[in-house]
Amino acid sequence: MERKALYAGSFDPVTNGHLNIIERAAKMYDSLTVAIVINPNKTGFFTVEERAEIAREVTKHIPNVRVDTFSGLLADYVNENGFIASVRGLRATTDFENELQMAQMNAKLFTGATETVFLMTEPEYSFISSSLIKEVASLGGCVDDLVPPYVVSRIMEKLDK
Ligand code: COA
């Protein structure tokens, strides 16, 4: 049986921190689905379609990664697709409380034996967040080492710089 894992998030846009988690998780499972969560209450910097296209482009070197989108409950998406793991990256202790709460809620909602699996972010990526990347880039700061080159070009295009 294929051992399928999920890495869900807003990915607005994918950063080097996300990519590091994706590359490591892809080695642990037969396949990894990077799923962009459609949140109708949140207007993104990139549209969901743009985020998915960017995620496909920057993960195309990893053969067992696919990119998808979903709306609604993560647990429903997991239950419908038979993922054995929902991967999350932990950057700092500040991530912990929220992640613990979501993992425990999801454990109640998963109908199968799906585990939430945490990977510790490597220290060089621990301060990165998509919001900070967008803020720094929009104010003229350099984000070259923090996101893949393709993402830099897409951010610049969006900012019309
Ligand atoms: N490296 C770099 N940045 C990282 C990172 C890593 N390893 N891991 C997380 N981040 C950043 C993201 O860039 C994002 O930054 P931003 O807030 O500045 O944009 C932030 O951490 C949050 O990451 P995200 O993956 O979008 O998680 P989230 O906490 O917003 O939401 C979901 C997690 C999407 C999985 C959750 O909201 C969900 O399951 N939604 C579906 C609805 C649902 O089921 N709700 C009930 C949940 S129990």
Ligand 1 center–CA 9 separation, angstroms:
5
- Each residue's pLDDT tens digit in the chain (161 positions)? 899 999 999 999 999 999 999 999 999 999 999 999 999 888 899 999 999 999 999 999 999 999 999 999 999 999 999 999 999 999 988 899 999 999 999 999 999 999 999 999 999 999 999 999 999 999 999 999 999 999 999 999 999 86
Residues with CB under 6 A from ligand 1: 8-10, 12, 15, 17-18, 21, 37, 73-75, 89, 91, 102, 105-106, 121, 125, 128-131
Nearest to 58 by CA among 119, 117, 17, 4: 17
pTM for the whole thing?
Answer: 0.95
Nearest to 70 by CA among 9, 116, 3, 15: 9
- Residue 31: per-residue pLDDT: 98
- Residue 98: per-residue pLDDT: 96
Measured from the Cα of 134, ligand 1's closest atom is: 18
Pick the residue whose CA is nearest to atom 32 on ligand 1.
Answer: 9
Active site residue 18: yes
- Residue 161: per-residue pLDDT: 66
Strand order in the sheet with 4-9: 65-71, 31-38, 4-9, 85-90, 115-120
Identify whether the C-beta of residue 114 lies closer than 8 Å to the C-beta of residue 87. no
Identify whether the C-beta of residue 93 lies closer than 8 Å to the C-beta of residue 124. no
Identify whether the C-beta of residue 87 lies closer than 8 Å to the C-beta of residue 5. yes
| 82 Cβ contact list (under 8 Å, min separation 6) | 4, 112
Pick the residue whose CA is nearest to atom 18 on ligand 1.
Answer: 131
Ligand 1 center–CA 24 separation, angstroms:
18
Q: Which two tokens stand for residue 68?
A: 């998808």
